[in-house]
Amino acid sequence: MKRLNAIKMMVTLVSAAATLSACGGHSQTTSARIGPDGGTLATPGGVSLRLAAGAVSSETEVTVTEQPGRTSSARRVVIEPAGLALAVAATLRVEAGDDSATARLVEIRREAEVEVEHGLETERHGQDGRSREAEIGRFGTFELRHGADDPGTGGCPAGQELEDGACKPHGGAVGGGVGGGGADDPGTGGCPAGQELEDGVCKPHGGAVGGGAGGGGADDPGTGGCPVGQELEDGVCTPHGGGR
């Protein structure tokens, strides 16, 4: 009787420990055996991995482990056997929630004892409107990032990314950002409204150099920045007509 009670107590303690682990937000693992005919592994946390026919040459035990990411809102997905190359790319899909449009799915590789982030060429918004997905050619570690918590965006506003230290719209044009008069026109380079960037100088649309905030001749390209009623002649501001 004492031995039976001891066994019951051990089972109860193991069950309690598993419950505490699940409630504490620790990693969660799901496994499935997938063969040459392909198949899909789906986790309770909203991760799915779809292997096409021919992706693996023999039946393989595939394991997907969900872990906390490097930021509070990030989600890490570890797919094993790690490093397994696939003959046909698999599709990885991760539930991202209401802000899926600003989320991003990346691959994390360990290089020289340091984690290095690599973009996924086919990464995209899922067709369901609430996930991110991409084709992957090998198993490894992947991470879902959200908006400003994504180091790749540098904290830039939605629809922009960090490039060469500046927030730019997806596609590469420089946005004016907060305080930039040319935020609505990527061609202005951040110049005030009505001007554009040409050869590193803000000029009125049309190409002439404007006098700027302190130049009286901003409305007359021929004045060269001289006060109203004067024009630039031999590098000197003179009254219209040529007399000094």
Per-residue confidence at 131, pLDDT binned at 50, 70, 90? very high
Domains, the chain, with CATH or none: 29-149 (2.60.220.30), 215-244 (no CATH)
Convert the pLDDT of each residue in 55-73 to its tens digit.
999 999 999 999 987 776 7
- What is d(CA 30, CA 45) in angstroms, rounded to the nearest whole number? 10
Q: What is the pLDDT of residue 9?
A: 33
Convert the pLDDT of each residue in 161-187 to its tens digit.
555 545 556 555 444 443 444 444 445
Total residue length of the chain: 244
Convert the pLDDT of each residue in 146-155 to its tens digit.
875 555 544 4
Q: What is the pLDDT of residue 22?
A: 39
Average confidence (pLDDT) over 114-125: 92
Q: Are 152 and 162 in contact (CB under 8 A)?
A: yes
Exposed e or buried b per residue across 141-159, where buried means at least 16 C-beta atoms within 10 angstroms of its C-beta: bbbbbbbebbeebeebbee
Sequence-distant (6+) residues with CB within 8 A of 242 are: 233
pTM: 0.54
The DSSP output letter for 13 is H
φ and ψ at 82, to 5 degrees?
A: -60, 135
Q: What is the pLDDT of residue 169?
A: 62
